[in-house]
Structure 1
Amino acid sequence: MKLIDRLERKFGRYAITNSTIYLIAAQTLFLVLIMMGKLDRSQIYFTADKLFQGEWWRLATFLFDPPIQNPLFAFFAWYLFYLMGSALEELWGAFRYNLFLLLGYCLMVAASFVTPAYPVSNAFIGGSVFLAFAFLFPDFQLLLFFVLPVRVKWLALITWLGYGYLCLVGGWSTRMMVLASVGNFLIFFARDIKLTFKHGKRQMVKRATATVVRNDQPFHCCTVCGITDKSHPKMDFRYCPECEGQYCYCTEHIFNHKHVKK
């Protein structure tokens, strides 16, 4: 995105590296304080009502609210957050990852002003990190219940269905939080999603109008290395929104190629 590129050139030097680790460290500290009885969770969650009462510290402390009070399950939640957050930072760079988190934070806080009494949960911000990771690495496998290997794209699909269910059965406060939680994802990946659907529609038209289609004819071919969906059926292919034209790349080169400019 050109806007993000301009922002990175101007403010990139202020980016915070390893921000995922800092968030996990702060949440770990808060969990220890809660377990020791030194801190009450009611003191750290954020609602706009509390902010209007002068409790401004909640703007920061809700980010450090541990995902769950059980240390074992909290550890696995932090492990997944570290795995996915670090992967996004390595792929995008610290500035873009910081911007993704900051955008999610701002949208969640803004949504809270629409529903002042509804508490903001940092779980939604972690959810947006998961959705971004699943979009970029759809074939990455997780061991469900430590036994069953599942690709993250299917878990992401379940997450999207869950968000849709919350929008259908929940109140306006829940709907606002769900929309805010996926807002940063939609802003970052809008062009990619549009190109994916656009290319898919073109392929459907071609398949419907073609009179003869060879079974070995590939539909996707990486512009850099030349591999196809036939030679590598498990490989994902995407179309670069920065290149001028329909240029296809495999997952190894979608973020590692020279953009084609006419």
Structure 2
Amino acid sequence: MPQRLLDKLERTFGRFAVPNLTVYLIAGQTFFYVLYMTGKLERSVSILAADRLLAGEWWRLATFPFDPPGLSIIFAFFAWYLFYLMGSALEEQWGSFRYNAYILIGYLLTVAVSFLIPAYPVSNTYIAGSVFLAFAFLYPDFTLMLFFVLPVRIKWLALLTWLYYGVLFLTGGGPTRLLVLASVGNFLIFFANDLRWLAKREGRQLAKKNWQPPVRSHEEPLHRCTVCGITDKTHPRMDFRYCPQCAGQHGYCQEHIFSHEHVKE
């Protein structure tokens, strides 16, 4: 996203930013998790579906962000730990307003997609995934203790995530493709300038790596007289000179170096 636009939006709406947004999201998800596990609420309450919205259940727009990551307490705890770690780091790096904007764009894209596939249930999983991708992009060498045992650099997990999204996009149906686009939409919007810069840098490095100086054939003469055409191959003892007053690189033999007409542009 253009820096100037973000700065302008922050000056106008910055006072509405919610600090520690990650903590509030995890607290809300924990609350709903307890309600689900105690049987006081059905899981479908926090699932977004546009057909239910159009039927009058607009409160799903508020409950949708608080859908917990899973019903397994171990998995849920691990997911919340990662979400807190990465979300807090992004907020510290960007500030509260920009982090709020990143989450809001992912939320709005997901809601918009749900209206394109109204009967398809949508969760907030992809929004959490976009936070992971942003964190991995900014901190690629961060080492994550996977399952608190296996050390893995997060850039490799991000690469697997991108590959997974790519497979889903290529092999999935229309709803899946739309959800994948929604899940990476806020990432692409926020990091568009960085991705363009990286593409240009990689292109320059690749061109520099692949460039090789032209190889002159042993049969090709190195010097040729512009007037008479003799070369260092036909006259190996001839001394050739280049005229500084001629436009371009024009060589001459000893006979014509001082008697030629200067080549103009």
The residue identity in structure 1 corresponding to 2:131 is V
1:163 counterpart residue number:
165
Match of 1:68 in 2: 70
Q: Determine which of 131, 134, 145 is the counterpart of 2:133.
A: 131
Structure 1 segment 159-238 matched on structure 2, within 5 A: 159-209=161-211
Partner Cα distance (1:199, 1:36) in 2 = 54
Following superposition of structure 1 onto structure 2, how do residues 11-30 of structure 1 map, counting pairs within 5 Å? 11-30=13-32
> C-alpha separation between the residues in 2 aligned to 1:147 and 1:66?
24
Over residues 62-107 of structure 1, what are the superposed CA-to-partner deviations in whole Å (9 max), with x where a residue is unaligned? 1111100111211110000000000000000000000000000000
Aligned partner of 1:149 in structure 2 is 151
Does the residue aligned with 2:123 lie in a helix, a strand or coil? Answer: coil
Matched position secondary structure for 2:40? coil
Distance in structure 2 (CA, Å) of the matches to 1:207 and 1:167: 33
Q: Which runs of 5+ in 2 are unaligned?
A: 214-265
State the distance in 2 between where 1:161 and 1:189 align. 18
Alpha-carbon displacement from aligned partner over 1:17-47 (angstroms, at most 9, x marks no partner): 0000000000000000111100001222111
Greater Rg by CA = 2
Equivalents in 2 of 1:2, 1:92: separation in Å? 14
Aligned length: 211
Residue 33 of structure 1: aligned partner: 35
Amino acid at match of 2:206: M
The one-letter amino acid paired with 1:56 is W
TM-score, normalised to structure 1, is 0.79
Whole-Å Cα distance in 1 between the matches of residues 145 and 91 of structure 2? 23
Q: Distance in 2 between matches of 1:91 and 1:46?
A: 30
Query: Gapped runs of 5+ residues in structure 1?
Result: 212-262
Calculate the TM-score normalised by the size of structure 2: 0.78
Give 1:60 deviation, angstroms.
1.3
Partner Cα distance (2:95, 2:147) in 1: 32
User: Residue 186 of structure 2 aligns to a residue in which SS?
Assistant: helix
Provide the residue aligned with 2:216 in structure 1: none
Looking at structure 2, the residues matched to 184 and 201 of structure 1 have their Cα atoms a distance apart, in angstroms, of: 25
Please give the alpha-carbon distance, in whole angstroms, between the structure 2 residues aligned to 1:191 and 1:82.
26
When residues 168 and 209 of structure 1 are mapped into structure 2, their CA distance, relative to the original with a 3 A threshold, is closer
Give secondary structure in 1 for the equivalent of 2:191: helix
